Structure 1
Amino acid sequence: MKDTSEQTSIFLFEDDAGLASEIILAFAREGLTVLLLATEDELVTVAGPGKSCVLIMDRMVDNVDSLAILERLRASGNRTPVIVISSLASVDERIKGLKGGGDDYLIKPFAMGELIARVESLRRRTPDDRRTTLSVGTLSMDIIGRTVVRGKRSIPMPPREFSLLEFLMRRPDQVVTRTMILEDVWKYKGTIDTNIVDVHMGNLRRKIDGEGEVPMIKSQRGIGFILTSDDR
C-alpha cells in the first residue's frame, strides 16, 4: 500500500485502549502512523483550518456520543474526512452517523483491512472532485461521453460496469472492499450476502484486461480489489 502519510495525517479518537492498540498496530504494518487523541480539545486542534488529516472517531467515547463533537466541527465549517466506528448497527443509527457529519460509518466488529481501505479512500478523496475525464495508465474514461478506451481499443460497457470502473479509476492503486463497492456503486447499506460484485468485476476484468495486455484489475485476497496502472 502506498504511503502518503506526509500529505495526510491519521488520527484516532478512541477510549478503548485495547482496540486503539489493535488499530495503531494494523496501520503500522502498512507503513502508516495513527496518532491517538485523548480529548475533544486535541481533536479540534488537529482538525483545525488548513490541517490535512483523516479522523477515525469512535461513536461512544467516555460514555458520550461523539457525534455531538462531530456536529460542532461541521457547524464551524470543518470538512475534515471522518470515519465513524460503532457497535450501534441499526439503519437508523448509521443514518444518524452520516447525517451528523460522518463521511463513512463502519460497524464493529470489523476487519482491520477494511478499516485501512476505507481510511485510504478518504485520504485520497478531494473535497470537490468534478473531473469528467479519468486516466490510469493507458486506460481512459470520458464520463460525459460515457466512453472507455484502453490504448487504441474502445471498450463498450453497460451503465453498471461503467459506474464500477469509474469507482475504481477514482481510486487507483488503492484496495477497495466489496462492502465499499456495494455501498457506493449499488447504494446498498449493511451486511448483504451476495456475489454481485464478483460477477460484475469478472465481466469488467474480461473487458479491461484483453489478451496479451498487462492485467490492471487484481484481487486482494480476503479484502477486495485494486486497479493498477499498466505502464510500469
Structure 2
Amino acid sequence: MNRPLESVKVLVVEDEPILGRAISTGLADHGYDCILANSAKEAAALAQSDSFPIILIDLALDDDSGLGVLRCIRESNENASILLLTPLEFRAERVMGIESGADDFVIKPFTMRELLARVEVSLVRSKSRPSSYIEVGPLAIDLTARRAVRDGKQIALTPTEFRILELLMRNQSKVVTRRMLCEFLWNPEWEGVTNVIEVHINRLRAKIEDQTTANLIHTVRGSGYCLRWAAAEVEVA
C-alpha cells in the first residue's frame, strides 16, 4: 500500500469509540493525519474550521443522520472526497448519500486494507478535479467561498460583479463578448441591451484595479472585454 507523499488530513466521523480509534490509528500508520470526530456536531464544527481533502462519515450516527452531516459538510467542503461507512442493510441511504455529494462508500465490516485502497483512490480523484481557486497576476478568487482578493486584501464585490470577474478570469487573456457576459449572468435567450454590462464593468474596474500598475480588464473595441496581466497575448474565446 502506497504512503501519501505528504501528510494528508483526514476527518473521521465515527461515534463508536473502538472503531473510530482503529480507523484513525490504521490511517495514521500509513502516513495520514487523522482527526476523529465523535459526533455530528463536532464533525460540522471541525469541517467549518479546517480543510480536509478526505472525510469519512459513518451513516449510522447516534446524534444525527449521517446524511445530514454529509450535506452540511459538502456545502463548505466542495473539493473534499467524502466516503461513507455504511452497514450492509443501508442500501437506500447509500444511494441518497451519493446523490447528496458523497464520492464513494465502504460497507461494514471492512478491512483496513480495503479502506486504505478506497482512500487512496479518492485522493487521486480529488487531485484531478478542477481547482476552485483562480489566480491572475495579483488577483485571486475563491469560487467556493465566493471571495475575491488583490495582493492579499479582500475586495467587496456584489454577486453580479463576482460572476463577471469569474467569467473573465476563467477566460484569462481571451476576449469575452458582451453577449457572452449577458448570457452567463442572466439566461441564454437574453434579448436585452448590453449597455448595462458597461456599468458593471466600470464598477468592477474601480474595485480591482490599482492606479499605480497596469490595468487588468481591457476593452476590446467592437467585441467585449479581456482580463490579462502584464504582456499576455489576447486570444478569442
TM-score (normalised: structure 2): 0.47
TM-score (normalised: structure 1): 0.48
